[in-house]
Amino acid sequence: DTLMFFGDTEQFAVEAPWGPYAVAPPFAKRTQIAHRAGSSKICVGEQEAPEIVCLGSDGDRTLIRWTVQPAPVLDSEIADWREAKVQEYDLKLSRSQVLEMLDRVPIPESRPPYSELFLDSAGFLWAERGPASGRGGESTDFLVFGPDGALLGTVSIPPIRVLEVGLDYVLGIHVDELGIQYVRVFELNRNATGAHS
């Protein structure tokens, strides 16, 4: 049976040289889904608000909500997004054509309240704070919620693209300054407030 309906990636139709064309804005809201193999639980969030719903195979439904101050989108992030789009369409359009097309895309004032979602092997939900891109900082914060939806705290993880959260580790991809990717595993101490290698 149908349990719920949810949206796809946010896009806007703009006029391109070949006609109407769908473009995702920077920090486009999109549905995030977390599921773990062997688990009957699935968590879904649409990034419209700090709200996620978790569904169990028995029909159990847990609504997770929290309060958060909207984080503004920086001018430098918009400039980086525009430059990346210019490179993406490099072989199809001139720079001025791409920029003219991007000028028609509405720019959000704030970032989504979370980006990636993960369910760990203990059934805890991890919600990455802030955007999934631009992880050049020293750490990335995750909100961690218990199986009942209660906020347990924040965990800081070195800047990696997380692939999996286990009982005592976090597995992810680290990209160095040359763009080379490395698989990294960090020890996770659930009695502390972070992960370290």
**121 has pLDDT over 90:** no
pLDDT tens sequence across 55-91: 987 878 999 999 988 889 999 999 999 999 999 998 8
Longest dimension (CA), the chain: 57
The C-alpha atoms of residue 88 and residue 179 are separated, in whole angstroms, by 17
Q: Is the pTM of this model over 0.75?
A: yes
Residue with tokens 């195979």: 57
Helix (H) or strand (E) holding 53: strand 51-55
Mean pLDDT of 83-108: 92
CA 47, 52, 54 angle in degrees (round to 5)? Answer: 145
